[in-house]
Structures are given as C-alpha cells and as structure tokens.
Amino acid sequence: MPSLQDELLPSTPGKFKIDHRVSHHRQLHRCFSSTSTMFLWALFLIALTASYLSFQSFINTGNRYFAASWGGIQWESQVRSSAQIRRSGGMSVLVTGAAGFVGTHVSLALKKRGDGVVGLDNFNNYYDPSLKKARKALLQNQGVLVVEGDINDSRLLAKLFDVVPFTHVMHLAAQAGVRYAMENPNSYVHSNIAGLVTLLETCKSADPQPAVVWASSSSVYGLNEKVPFSELDVTDQPASLYAATKKAGEEITHTYNHIYGLSITGLRFFTVYGPWGRPDMAYFSFTRNILQGKPITIYRGKEQVDLARDFTYIDDIVKGCVGSLDTSGKSTGSGGKKKGPAPYRIFNLGNTSPVTVPTLVNILEGHLQVKAKRKLVDMPGNGDVPFTHANISLARQELGYKPTTDLQTGLKKFVKWYLSYYGYHQSKPLN
Ligand SMILES: O=C(O)[C@H]1O[C@H](OP(=O)(O)OP(=O)(O)OC[C@H]2O[C@@H](n3ccc(=O)[nH]c3=O)[C@H](O)[C@@H]2O)[C@H](O)[C@@H](O)[C@H]1O
C-alpha cells in the first residue's frame, strides 16, 4: 500500500522506484524554496513600502515647497514694502492674528500713522473664515500684507525676521473663547502655549530682539471676588482652560524676559466688542439671532443674579495697544543672550463700568428696533465667571489709557457695521 508520502509525489508508474532519501531531500528543497520565495516576497514588500513612504515624503516636502503661500523674491519684496516705516521714529511691527478682530484694528491704526506693519494669520475656521478674509482685504487696501501661516511654524517666523528686523511684535494670534475650551482643549494648547513659545523662541534669537506686546485676558482673574480687578491681585483661580492658558502665557513670557532680556507687555483685555468683531461673542451672536427672530440664551448666576462684563470698545483697546508699543522700552538681549534687565509689564485694558448681560440685550433691542426672544438659563459650569471689572489706574498712569466709549455708543457703531456688512437695509436711523 502506497504511503501517503508516495501518493503525494509525482508518480511514474512502473518505472520509478522511490528513494526515500531523495524524497526527503526534495522535501527539504521544497521547504527551502518556499521559504526563499516567502523571503523574496517579504523583501519585495519591504522595498515597495519603503519606496511608497519615500515617495510620500517627497510629495509632502514638494507640496510644502511648491504650495507654501510664502517665500520667494517677490514675496520678500511684498513683506519689505509692507514693513516700510513712513514716519520719523516709527516702528516696524509684526502683528500676529492680524486677520482677527483686534489684530485688524491695531494693524490699521499703526499703518495709518506711518508705522510698518506685516500681518500673520492662520485663517483657521474657529469662526467664519470669510470674515477673516474680508478683514485681510481691508488691510490689503491700506497696504498691509497678511501672510498666511501659523505661529507654530518656526521656519516661517525665522524667515520673516530674516527679511525684516522687526522692532516690535504685537502678538494677538490665539485660540479665543472661554466656553469652546471644553470642546477643543488642544487648540488652546496649540496656539496659546506651543505657538507662544515658538514665537518667543524666534524673538529671543532675533538680532535685534523686538519688544513684545501680547494679549492676555481678563479671564485670568477667574473666581476672584475682590473688585475692581487689579494687576496686583493674585491670579491663581482660573475658571476655564482658556484662562489657564492665558495665565500660563504670563508666566512663560516672564521667563523669556528673565532669561533672554525680552521686553514684554501683557494686556488683559476685558470683553472687547465693536465693528468687525468676533461672531462667537455674545453681543455678536445675540445680534444675529435677534435679527433672524431666533431665541437668545441669557445665562444667570447663582441666586438668579445677572452676569456682568466690563465690555470694552475696540477703539479704546487699540489706543491701549498702541500706547503699549510706544512705551515698551527695548529688549536687551542679542544672539539669544540677555545683556541686562528689560521691562516686564502687565496692564488691565477694560472700561471700568461693568454692564449686565440683560442690559446689553436691552441696548441691542433699541438699536436693532427688534424685540429679542429671551431664554433665561442658569449659568452652566463651562468656564464662565459671574462678573469682570477692571481697575485701570496702572494703564492710565503708564500708557495714558483712558477709555471713552460707553456700551450704548459702542454697540450703536457695531450694529451700524453689522447691518451694512451683512446687507441689511436700514429703514430708519439707529436709535
Ligand atoms: O475678557 C476676556 O478675557 C474674554 O472676553 C470674552 O469672553 P466673555 O466675557 O465670556 O464674552 P462673551 O462670550 O461675549 O460673553 C459675554 C457674557 O455673555 C454671557 N453669554 C454668552 C453667551 C450666551 O449665549 N449667553 C450669555 O449669556 C456670558 O456668560 C458672559 O457673561 C472673549 O470671548 C474671550 O475670548 C476673552 O477675551
């Protein structure tokens, strides 16, 4: 009876006597040949994967190189021209977040008085990027170039400093919004921590080092109850991750001042509002909903107490920013080394007269001549604080900061802009 082995081998009936040693040898040979085939296949697959990966990396590098919105002789000359100073004693300022609300206004003010301004903005989609593009167009009309790029891009930052020896950096790029931090915490770390450090690294290495003025926030006062809030108060009770990243920014900038001699001014903005504002903010989204006949949600604090904010009009904030740039003093370091002490300052930029949220809604109703559909709800535990109120004595003393626009007047200007920007036709003049 043929063995199973015999059956499996090719048979040449009657002619061929199977030698088991040969069979064993053949088996071994088969085994080896299938191993070597597998080996070859494995080699082939490895080679294929490697060439795919290197092709991908080539494509990525190529894309970065070819599709980058910056670089090249023409781009450099645009940057230089935008940074050109047109008044004696003027400054050349890199404005980060230039297509943002405050960034646009500050850039326009600086350009208007003859300073050189180059903007930087990543045009992210935290809110409608078309509004940012419209602000960019506005700036372009006034000769301000806004470079599209992220503050985390150290190559781009180094290039900008290579092309222009900026005297000042107005750092306004940030992930804003108090409540959004619960939805997307990493975006706050990305912009407000990592991006800030990348920017400061560039500034400390630049020669000459620029003076840095940057946007902190009233939210660093967190759950503090002593009012008005003073720069001398302890700020160690943030109520949101946003606030925590801004507080961290104050500490981070302090180390760069201490180690590298960078001149630093941190500005604690108090709920800034006005034309070209941020659609995620209450005054803006309330206006939109009121006009569209949709309900608005008004938060209320403990025991049904109304929330209040020290709403500050954009033109006042711009004056505070420009005053800070003008008085910043010089950074002292060079080649990444500190040569002596440099100024480190923090200022409140508020309005000093808090207004409750229901009063804000009353004012909007008056200007829009439409009744709001109010929905009152208890303040959710999402990072909000019950009130803010700035003590501005220090800013008044050091910067000559003096806010002049009350909420009634400022919202009238905002509503006028809103109606015209979004194409509403006014039948009657604003109240
Ligand atoms: O000073 C700051 O440092 C911050 O100011 C701003 O934060 P806030 O003061 O929270 O402004 P904003 O959202 O307009 O809410 C205003 C009021 O309306 C209430 N509010 C809000 C939304 C809503 O649907 N209902 C409501 O009652 C709400 O409870 C609050 O009482 C900036 O967004 C922030 O980026 C940062 O710069």
Which ligand 1 atom sits nearest the alpha carbon of residue 280? Answer: 13
| Residue 275 vs residue 11, higher pLDDT | 275
**Rounded mean pLDDT, 318-339:** 95
What is the interface pTM, i.e. ipTM, of the complex?
0.99
CA-based angle 165:258:330, to the nearest 5? 35
Residue partners of 74: CB distance under 8 A and separation at least 6: none
pLDDT of residue 196: 99
Q: How far is the CA of 178 from the centre of ligand 1 (A)?
A: 7
| Residue 361 vs residue 13, higher pLDDT | 361
In angstroms, the Cα distances linking 235 to 196, 230, 251, 311 are 20, 10, 11, 20
pLDDT of residue 47: 63
- The residue count of the chain comes to 431
Ligand 1 pocket test target in 175, 178, 280 with most atoms within 8 Å of CB:
178
Q: How far is the CA of 206 from the centre of ligand 1 (A)?
A: 36
69 sits in which H/E element: none
Q: Whose CA is nearest to atom 4 of ligand 1?
A: 271
The rounded Cα 293 to chain-centroid distance in angstroms is: 32
pLDDT of residue 57: 44
pLDDT of residue 64: 43
Burial 196-231 (b: 16+ CB within 10 A, else e): bbbbbbbbbbbeebbbbbbbbbbbbbbebeeebbeb
CA-based angle 342:347:352, to the nearest 5? 165
pLDDT of residue 336: 84
Express each pLDDT in 355-372 by its tens digit: 999 999 999 999 999 999
Alpha helices in 68-97 (DSSP H): 73-83
Q: Is the pLDDT of residue 14 over 70?
A: no
DSSP calls for 162-200: HH---SEEEE------SGGGGT-HHHHIIIIIIIHHHHH
pLDDT of residue 409: 98
Express each pLDDT in 29-58 by its tens digit: 443 455 566 666 666 666 655 555 444 444
Q: Whose CA is nearest to atom 21 of ligand 1?
A: 282
**Rounded mean pLDDT, 257-284:** 98
Residue 167 near residue 192, CB atoms below 8 Å:
no
Express each pLDDT in 87-109 by its tens digit: 999 999 999 999 999 999 999 99
Express each pLDDT in 119-137 by its tens digit: 999 999 999 999 999 999 9
CA distance 176 to 280: 9
**Rounded mean pLDDT, 142-152:** 98
Express each pLDDT in 174-229 by its tens digit: 999 999 999 999 999 999 999 999 999 999 999 999 999 999 999 999 999 999 99
Q: Which residues are catalytically annotated?
A: 242
CA distance 372 to 298: 11
Confidence of residue 425 (pLDDT cuts 50, 70, 90): confident
Q: Based on the number of CB atoms within 10 Å of its own CB, is 241 exposed (0-12), middle (13-18) or buried (19 or more)?
A: buried
Protein residues whose CB sits closer than 6 Å to any atom of ligand 1? 176-178, 217-219, 269-271, 281-282, 297-299, 307, 309, 357, 384
* pTM recorded for the entire structure: 0.86
pLDDT of residue 74: 97
Which ligand 1 atom sits nearest the alpha carbon of residue 283? Answer: 14
Which ligand 1 atom sits nearest the alpha carbon of residue 299? Answer: 27
Average pLDDT for the chain: 89
